[in-house]
Amino acid sequence: MLRIDGLHVSIGDSEILHGISLEVPDGEIHAVMGPNGSGKSTLAHVLAGGEPYQVAAGSVLFDDLDLLSMTPEERAAAGVFLGFQHPVEIPGVPTMYFLRTALNAQRRARGEQEVGPVEFLALVEDKRRLVEMERALLDRPVNDGFSGGERKRHEILQMLILEPRLAVLDETDSGLDIDALRVVAAGVSTMRGPDRSALLITHHQRLLDHLVPDRVHVLAGGRIIRSGGPDLAVELEAHGYATLDGTIVEALPVPAGTVR
């Protein structure tokens, strides 16, 4: 489904990713772990088409499509979803309007029939229960007054409604309590299937206790330095990133104002 080959990414004069190669087959969930400033969020935003990142070299194929040549809107319509580490508030935009507009924009781009108001209400209610989100929150503007956990539940609600083929979740577990973590993991598990995949970016193994990945990759210093099975996450939790098979793990300098 997703194939990254020799990806080099910069911000201004600073190179953040130094030749990343990674493959996520259909139906698999992969986790990317690593220390702060290693380039994990950069990778997520590049896949979704975010700025101000510049791709200097390499390729990214999604279902044999050249992902890097596509606009963020085209990537979303093709089935790529990004769950943000810090979901932003959008004042004045009602959450229900936002969700229905996003869904129908993607359906139009794919040549599918739009979802009407009654059908959409039923869809939202079904997915809202899965993420245990209070109904009153949907009557507010997007993320207006939401707690950190409520914002993350809303991200998973968006994912369940849009049903992407590839979900890229950038530290969706960050700042969650035990109950919210369980809900997020259950939401991702609901999407698991032979034609859907996920790339989970996380610092901690605790999310992976609820959601066992097929592969775990360690990203440090802008490079994938090790890959393995679920046991690799357990090893990292026990011993940290100080050394991995004798490789010293260091973060790169972070340019001011950069999300890494």
Tell me the per-residue pLDDT of 112-155, one tens digit each, with 9 for 90 and over. 999 999 999 999 999 999 999 999 999 999 999 999 889 999 99
How many Cβ atoms sit within 10 Å of the Cβ of residue 11? 18
The better pLDDT of the pair 190, 68 is held by: 68
* Secondary structure (H, E, C), 89-110: CEEEEEHHHHHHHHHHHHHHHC
For residue 49, the one-letter residue type is G
The better pLDDT of the pair 165, 207 is held by: 165
Does residue 249 have a pLDDT over 80?
no
Q: What is the pLDDT of residue 256?
A: 47
Distance (Å, whole) CA 212 – CA 30: 9
Asked if residue 238 lies in contact with residue 25, where contact means CB atoms within 8 angstroms, the answer is no
> What's the token pair of residue 137?
């929150």
Distance (Å, whole) CA 28 – CA 50: 24
CATH number of 2-248: 3.40.50.300
Q: How confident is the model at residue 183 (pLDDT cuts 50, 70, 90)?
A: confident
Mean predicted confidence (pLDDT) in 39-61:
93
The closest of 50, 77, 82, 58 to 4, measured between CA atoms, is 58
Cα-flanking dihedrals φ and ψ of residue 148, to 5°?
-60, -45
Residues forming a β-bridge with 248: 243
Q: How confident is the model at residue 35 (pLDDT cuts 50, 70, 90)?
A: confident
Does residue 26 have a pLDDT over 80?
yes
Q: What is the pLDDT of residue 244?
A: 64
The better pLDDT of the pair 216, 205 is held by: 216
Could you tell me the pTM of the whole model?
A: 0.89
The closest of 166, 170, 128 to 150, measured between CA atoms, is 128
Give the domain ranges of the chain.
2-248
* Length, in residues, of the chain: 260
Q: Above pLDDT 90, what percent of the chain? A: 68
How does the average pLDDT of the chain come out, rounded? 89
Does residue 248 have a pLDDT over 70?
no
